[in-house]
Amino acid sequence: MTPLVRSVCSADTLTRDALAVLQPGFTGTTPPDWLLRRLGEGLVSVGLFGRNVVGPAQLAALTGRLRAEREELIVAIDEEGGDVTRLEVRGGSSFPGNHALGAVDDTGLTRAVARELGRRLADCGINLNWAPSADVNSNPANPVIGVRSFGADPQLVARHTAAYVEGLQSAGVAACTKHFPGHGDTAVDSHHDLPRIAADLSTLQERELVPFRAAVAAGTRAVMSAHILLPALDAEHPATLSPAALHGLLRAPEAEGGLGFDGLIVTDGMEMQAVSATYGIERGSVLALAAGADALCVGGGLADEDIVLRLRDALVRAVREGELPEQRLADAAARVRALAGRARSAGAGEGEGEGAAPAPGIGLTAARRALRVTAAGPYRPLPEPVHVAAFTPLANIAVGDETPWGVAAELVRLLPGTETTTCTAEAAAAAGTAALVDGLLTAAAGRRLVAVVRDVHRHPWMADALHDLLAARPDTAVIEMGVPQAPPQGALHIATHGAARVCAQAAAEALTGRRPSPDE
C-alpha cells in the first residue's frame, strides 16, 4: 500500500499546476465564461477544433478574447493541412498534406508550405500546431495515418519532418511533432482501440524513431505521444502512459540511446478509446503525467467545464495521495508555462524567415507538382460535362466527415453540368456490386465517367466495383486521392496523394487541360 504523502505546497499552487497541464477544448465560436474563469485560475492552454472555426476574422477575435484574459497563453490546433484541416474544415484545405509533399520530395517546398500555413495560423492568434505527423507509413493497411505521412521511407520522412518543423516555427508557431514513437505500423485506429506494434527495438530505432530524431535536431518545441503498445519497449502500458517511452526513450540522452528531447511532451487526446476504455480518463491522465508527459490534450470529444474540473481534481488528489510526485506535476506545469511565454508573440517570426512575404499560392503549386499521371494510351482532355462516380469510404475521426473531398466540385467549376453519384460500402452491400455499377452506368447516360477513389487497396468493395466499372467503360478516368498503393487503372489514372481541396483542383485541371481564370 502506497503511504500517504502530504503536499508541501499550498492547495492554490497545486490547483494552478493541475490546471496548467491541461489542454482542453470547448464548443462554440466564442469562448464560454467557464473557460475565461479557468484561465484566471491557472489554465495556460486551450485547444481549438473545427467546431470553433468560422473564418480568419472570427478566429482572430476568439484568440484575442482569450489573451485578454491571459496574455501568456498557448492556443493549439490540429492543422496538418491536407486531409486534416480545422482552419478550412468546411471547404477543404488550401495546402496538400504530407504524402503529397513527400511525393514531390523537395524539402524547400515543404518548408515553404509549412511556413505559409504557420503564417496563417499566427495571423489568427494560434501559436502551437499539433503537427507534423512524423509517422513512417510502413503498414499499407493503416486506417488512420495513410496520406498524413510523408511516406514509407524513414529517411524521406525524416528530412521532410525537419523541413516542416523549420518552416512552421519560422512563422512563430511551435511545432508538435507526432505520434511518438510512431503510429505508422498499425492496422488499428487508436481513436477506437489500442494498436499493438510488434517491431523489435532495433526496427524501432532504424525506422520509427528516425524522423523524430530529425525533428528534435530541427528544434521542434513539442512532441505528441501516441496511444500505442510496443511490447519491445513496455509490455504493459501504451506509450502515452509509459515511463520507458517518455522518460526512458524520448527524454534520455542520445549517449544512452534516447532522443535527448527537453521540450514539451503533449499527449494525444486522452478521451481516445486506446487509453480511456482501459484506464478511464482520470486514471489515464495521472499515469501520463507520472510517465513524463507535460500537457494533457483533451477536448476533441469531451469539451465542457466538467472534464476540466474532473481532471484538475484527479491530479490534485493523486499528488495528495502520493500517486503522482508533486515535483513531477510542478515540472510539467513549468514546461507548459515556459512554452506559453516563448510563444507569447505568435506571428513575430523567428530566425532567417522573419518578415517573409505571404505565399498564398504555394499550396496549389505543391498539389500540382504532387500529381502522378499514368495514361493507358492517348488521352483526350475532357471537353464537356462528365459523370463522377465517388467511391466514398467511412472517414476516420482524425479527418472527420465535415470536410468535403473529391473532384466533383472542381469539375463543376470547369465543366458546368457535371453530375455525381456517391457510392458507399453500405450501398454496395445492400444492392450488390453488379447493381451498383449498373446504376452508375444508367446515371451516366453515355457521358464520360470519372471514378474517384480513396485508398482503394484497403477497401475490397471499392476495388470490386471499380474493376466492374472499368470492364464496362474502359474509357473511365480514375482519380486516387488516398495512398496510391494499388496499380494504376483506367484510361487515365491520376494519383493526387491526398484529398485536400487543392489536390482536387490540380486533378481537375489535369483531366480537362484547363485552369480556371482568376474570376471563376
**Residue 157 has which C-alpha cell?**
520522412
> What is the distance between the alpha carbons of residues 66 and 55, in angstroms, rounded to a whole number?
17
| pLDDT for the residue numbered 197 | 84
Cα-to-chain-centroid distance, residue 465: 30
The pLDDT of residue 520 is above 80:
no
The residue annotated as part of the active site, out of 191, 459, 493, 497, is 191
DSSP H/E element including 165: helix 154-170
pLDDT tens readout for residues 481-497: 999 999 999 999 999 99
Q: What are phi and psi of 191, to 5 degrees?
A: -65, -30
Give the 3-state secondary structure of residue 478.
strand
> pLDDT grade, residue 216 (50/70/90)?
very high
All residues at 6 or more sequence positions from 443 whose CB lies less than 8 Å from its CB, including other chains: 387, 419, 421
Judge whether 459 counts as a catalytic residue: no
What are 200-207's contacts with CB under 8 Å, separation 24+?
Answer: 200/232, 201/232, 201/233, 204/230, 204/232, 204/233, 205/257, 206/154, 207/136, 207/138, 207/154, 207/182
What is the widest separation between alpha-carbon atoms in the chain?
A: 79
Q: pLDDT, tens digit, for every residue of 47-103?
A: 999 999 999 999 999 999 999 999 999 999 999 999 999 999 999 999 999 999 999
Lowest mean per-residue pLDDT among 68-72, 118-122, 189-193: 189-193
* 288/143 Cα distance (integer angstroms): 25
**CB-based contacts of 353: which residues, under 8 Å, 6+ apart?**
115, 167, 170, 171
CA gap 115, 365 in Å, rounded: 14
Cα–Cα distance measured from residue 508 to residue 520, given in angstroms and rounded to the nearest whole number: 14
Residue 189 confidence (pLDDT): 57
Q: Which residues pair with 224 in a beta bridge?
A: 266
Check pLDDT > 60 for residue 431: yes
Q: Is the pLDDT of residue 354 over 70?
A: no
8 Å CB contact between 480 and 407: no
In this structure, the number of other CB atoms found within 10 A of the CB of residue 45 comes to: 26
Catalytic annotation present for 268: yes
User: What is the Cα gyration radius of the chain?
Assistant: 24
pLDDT at 379: 87
C-alpha cell at 88: 478550412
pLDDT tens digits for range 233-276? 999 999 999 999 999 999 999 998 899 999 999 999 898 887 88
Among the options 17, 185, 268, 294, which is catalytic? 268
How confident is the model at residue 396, as a pLDDT?
Answer: 61
- Give 362-398 pLDDT, tens digit per residue: 999 999 999 999 998 888 899 999 999 999 987 766 6
Torsion, CA 423, CA 424, CA 428, CA 431, rounded to 10 = -70
pTM value is 0.93
The three-state secondary structure class of 98 is helix
End-to-end CA distance of the chain: 71
Dist CA 147 CA 137 (whole Å)? 8
Per-residue pLDDT at 398? 65
For 352-415, where are the alpha helices, taking DSSP H only? 362-370, 408-414
Question: What's the pLDDT at 517?
Answer: 62
Question: What distance in Å separates the CA atoms of residue 132 and residue 78, rounded to the nearest whole number?
Answer: 9
Q: How far apart are CA 372 and CA 195, in angstroms?
A: 32
Tell me what the pLDDT averaged over the chain comes to: 91
